[in-house]
Amino acid sequence: MINLIGTYECKADAKGRVLFASALKKQLQPVLNEGFVIKRAVFQPCLELYSMEEWQLIMSKINKLNKFVKKNNDFIRRFTAGVKIVEFDSAGRVLIPKDLADFAGIKKQVVLSSAVNIIEIWDKDNYEKAIDAAALDFAALAEEVMGNTEFDEIS
């Protein structure tokens, strides 16, 4: 598992290719040759980029769901809607599929934001709006999520 660090601004070209910052590519080096999975985020209007290793971990959990339970089947369908395999090209770019770029509102200015073990891919304006909205109640959220937990108990 990789723990990624950083937020990077970049641009999407006319074909939808995003050039990743070299600092981020260096962090991805151990998994660069495996390929990646890109999908719609569940809670935000952005995309999530998983290394193939991280994707397999998620899929192993999802595979344990009973597919004969309707809500499980609905969840699987929506979670995997629009999922695509992507790779870095020789110039260090990833092609964002048009349907996913449309979902996230990605135009030209892009933010790549590490979210522990995945990368969120945002349209810059949407990212700034989400950060501004979250800033209002982040202290209360941090206290609720982390305040009553011993750090050595988290796993």
Q: Where are the domains of the chain?
A: 7-124
Sign of CA pseudo-dihedral 87, 88, 94, 95: negative
In this prediction, what percent of the chain has a pLDDT beyond 70?
A: 93
Edge-to-edge strands of the sheet including 118-123?
A: 7-11, 109-115, 118-123, 47-51, 36-40, 84-86
Could you read off the pLDDT of 15-29 as tens digits, one per residue? 999 999 999 999 999
The answer to whether 87 and 35 have CB atoms below 8 angstroms apart is: yes
Sign of CA pseudo-dihedral 135, 115, 94, 99: negative
Residue 155 confidence (pLDDT): 52
Q: Cα–Cα distance between 121 and 139 in angstroms, integer?
A: 24
CATH of domain 7-124: 3.40.1550.20
